[in-house]
Structure 1
Amino acid sequence: MQTYDTLVEALDDLTKKGYTLDFNLATDCLVCRTQDLQLRPEQFHIVAVFRFEGMSNPDDNTVLYAIESTDGQKGTLVSAYGPYADEMSGEMVEKLKIA
């Protein structure tokens, strides 16, 4: 698996690899506002996960997901983890669980 030193480096490389959609987390789905697209947990899979920790503040943690929908659309989701993780349904928690 590819590794990256920074979130920006990872996003740039994934964009070059076709992960062009920008997903946001909703309670029970992923949303891409520019495409008016919503993906429920059964409509996508996680291709890769990358963790980034803040150098100056350990609470400044981010996770980047490379996501592909069941119909082949690719994008990324950037989300906080740890004490600032977003609220979401049990199904979404399970889908986005980081081992």
Structure 2
Amino acid sequence: MIKMNTSKNELEIIKKYEAVGYINSYRVSGNLLINNKTKSKYLPNEVFIVAEHRFEGMSNPSDMSMLFILETKYKGKGTFLASYGGASSTEAAEFFNEIPKENVSNKENIFMK
């Protein structure tokens, strides 16, 4: 279940996850998730979404972003911030759609603990 966050911005939420060990940031290129610091690469089946947070744009509710809290097959932990709407990345959306359903949970959602 995706919980809509209306009182917090993305940076505040990212900092909360960093405080509990989700310190890596990732980007998508081609069909790979890439750790921005180590350059390690992961296929969709090597990525686990352990929480998701959706944000609406302040001035335009159709400008949305989604914060994915991720763990990798090799125990990397971090975040990926995806924009939706006019500035969205088809590449990122396609990658996240390829993550197996069994790799998606909300078990690390800091607002549900």
When normalised by structure 1's length, the TM-score is 0.82
Give 1:90 deviation, angstroms. 4.6
The answer to whether the 8 Å contact 2:64/2:83 transfers is yes
The answer to whether the 8 Å contact 1:43/1:70 transfers is yes
Aligned residue runs from structure 1 range 77-92, under 5 A: 77-88=80-91, 90=94, 92=96
Aligned to 1:94: 98
Aligned residue runs from structure 1 range 1-99, under 5 A: 5-88=8-91, 90=94, 92-95=96-99
The answer to whether the 8 Å contact 1:64/1:79 transfers is yes
The answer to whether the 8 Å contact 1:63/1:80 transfers is yes
Give the share of equivalent positions with the same residue, in percent: 28
Q: Larger deviation: 88-97 or 57-66? A: 88-97
Q: Which has the higher helix share?
A: 1
Give aligned pairs, total: 97
What are the ranges of 5 or more consecutive residues in structure 2 without an aligned counterpart? 102-113
